[in-house]
Chain A
Amino acid sequence: MTKRREFIQYAGLASMALASPALSFASRAERRPFEQVPQRFAERPMRLEGDWPSTLKGKLYRNSPAMLERAGFQHSHLFDGDGMVQQYTIANGQVSHRAEMVATEKYLREQAAGRFLYPGLGSTPPQPKAARNNDSANSANISVRKIGKRLFALWEAGSAYEIDPDSLATVGRVDWGEALTHLPFSAHPTIDADGQWWNIGSWIYGGQALVFIYQLDQAGALKRFKRLALQQAGYMHAFCVSQNYLVLVNTAHLYQHKNEGNFFDKFQFDQQGHSQIVLIDKNTLTIERTIEIPANFVFHFGNAYELGNELFFTMAEYRDAQIMSRGLSIKETSVFGPNPVSYPSELCQYRIELNSGRWHKSGSGLSMEFPNFRQTQPFSPQALVGCGQRLNHGGQQRLEQLLQINPHTGTSDAYTFAENVSLDEPLYIQDSRGEEFIIHSFLDRQQNESGLALFKGADIGAGPIAKAWAGGVLPQGFHGCWVSA
């Protein structure tokens, strides 16, 4: 890392870790993040570097599509790996790590069979079995969120799975109601200012284009549900919430039924078509307006807010859907590969005039993915934090950055990591005194070791104030959450 601070604290923990019989990283020194992943990581302390504040207490949960291999077959798309919830516990200036597979119905059946049984989204194992429904292939592998006292491991095309927040044992598949069994529940439930939660589910199959709206109370119980019809069957991964609206972007990556091919092969990016911004009234749960914008692709959003009669929201915007079809494979085209390929998304802010529906777009000129905002201030203009990248040497070398952008002011700050460091999603967190930090996991491919990095929220350019090293490679993943102790 370019601003590495070389005061390393082993604190006696490294020797304990090396002695642990539960997990021998040494034998996996050359293992890549998605190969030969064990089905659990027993709790072990991490090797510390820098100053982990004693006031910082809590758990970072992250979900990873960890298990891509069974019986000699390897899934080729990251979305097809079975979910593993990783738990980093931070207390008293120490950091420990453990992880467990999510015991989905799919995982348990395939464990018993000793092979993958069901078609994945991007790749299909030999002799696949027919699926009873969408949950047959539910790998609960995209994110993990704490709502009230309930921890959920989330996919996007099927049910949530509830996880014990302490033991990480799987409680079971969540039914929000008898008629709602197996309905999609996205990986991105989003908090409202009053502590309630919203989520969507997308169903774009069988000639239908539907979105399901879930409103959960502060304890994670379903409060309201609505099914809405959309104008096109576009891929939707997440959404954002303003004071009065749920904001969806129904992308131009359209599902078209075909008998052959994998699930993702049935999507076609309609470059000549449109994406659609869909504004859903939070009170009535009706679509208030659908606004066409040029064809784009998006996974993730920053926050949304209304100022006067205007609605602002940000998204990590792609020109097409190659990130989905090629970038998330584990082949040579992958963003997670040994020589990661770049599929840059630009952080863009959209401004909607609520009276007329006219829209305006401001590009930041900066590539950002996994944008996150302060959950305590969801409707305030603020600096987003995410994973950025900088290209060196004529674009031949990609350096990853922790990037902070305030779309409202146009200001930004960044910390650039050394070559061969890959970042995972960063999150804003607070210690017991209310001081703000940013935390994220990473993989140092040079030394083949995963870790955690901690930054001061007000000065990311100064580099990480502390790191914790896993002593080996952990599965990389998509999304997580922080739960203060």
Chain B
Amino acid sequence: MKTLTLLSGIFALLLAKPSFSHDLTLLISAYQHSQGSSYISLHNNAASFDGSGGQALAAVKQQLSGDSLKLTFHNLPSGDYAVRIFHDENDNRELDRNIIGIPTEPYGFSNNAGAFGPASFEDAKISLSGDQIVTIELR
């Protein structure tokens, strides 16, 4: 299991408000093998989460060395966040899909949200008001 520390682009802002800074730790499991990479993105709004607009708050690519991954986002202000993950098994930098858009590589969302297909920000959001550890199981 690997630990990754992220200094997001909002780090400087967060330093100004240390009392509102929290850590969000992800424990990601169910990697079927360690080939390829994992892409993890952190979002604080629905538009960036569902891809309709805006940028992820943070995004990271992580090499795998086992069947799970531990990752911490530091210095986040209180608020709602959601996480998207996919396992890029063939290292082509994208989530592979078939001709109708159904993913053919493993993926997951915070709260393990969504029964079938993409989760909504509303279902995947984590309301962060302190340090928090969440577990995500890849589908």
| Chain A interface (Cβ < 8 Å from any Cβ of B) | 119, 128-134, 136, 179-183, 203, 206, 208, 210, 227
Contacts and interface: CB of A to CB of B under 8 A. Distances in A.
Given A180-B99, A183-B99, A129 B139 contact: yes
B106 interface: yes
Contact of A133 (B99, B103, B112, B113): B103
Interface of B: 98-100, 102-104, 106-107, 112-117, 137, 139
B99 A179 contact: yes
5 contacts: A119-B116, A130-B114, A130-B139, A136-B139, A210-B100
Contact of A206 (B98, B106, B117, B137): B117
Given A129-B137, A130-B139, A227-B99, A182 B104 contact: yes
A227 B99 CA distance: 9
A180 B100 CA distance: 9
B98 A181 contact: yes
B47 to A, nearest CB: 20
Given A130-B114, A133-B104, A181-B98, 7 more contacts: A129-B139, A133-B103, A179-B98, A182-B98, A183-B98, A206-B117, A208-B100
A181 B103 CA distance: 9
A138 to B, nearest CB: 13
A210 B113 CA distance: 27
A132 B98 contact: no
A131 B99 contact: no
B100 A132 contact: no
Q: Please report whether the interface of chain A is mostly helix, strand, loop or mixed according to DSSP.
A: loop
A210 B98 CA distance: 14
Given A136-B139, A181-B104, A182-B104, A131 B98 contact: no
A145 to B, nearest CB: 23
A374 B3 CA distance: 64
A134 B102 contact: yes
A206 B98 CA distance: 15
A130 B100 contact: no
A128 B115 contact: yes
Contacts of A183: 98-100, 102
Contacts of B103: 132-133
B139 A180 contact: no
Contacts of A136: 139
Tell me which of A119, A132, A182, A203 has the highest count of chain B C-beta atoms within 10 A of its own C-beta: A132
B107 to A, nearest CB: 7
B139 A131 contact: yes
A134 B98 CA distance: 12
Contacts of B102: 133-134, 182-183
Contacts of A180: 98-99
Contact of A130 (B99, B104, B116): B116
A181 B100 CA distance: 10
Given A130-B114, A130-B116, A131-B116, A203 B100 contact: yes
Contacts of A130: 112-116, 139
Most buried by A among B99, B107, B112, B114: B99
Nearest to B116: A131
B121 to A, nearest CB: 15
Contact of B115 (A131, A179, A203, A210): A131
Contacts of A181: 98, 104
Contacts of A131: 115-116, 139
9 shortest interchain CB distances as A-B pairs: A132-B139, A179-B99, A181-B104, A131-B116, A133-B102, A181-B98, A130-B139, A182-B102, A130-B115
Contacts of B113: 130
B136 to A, nearest CB: 11
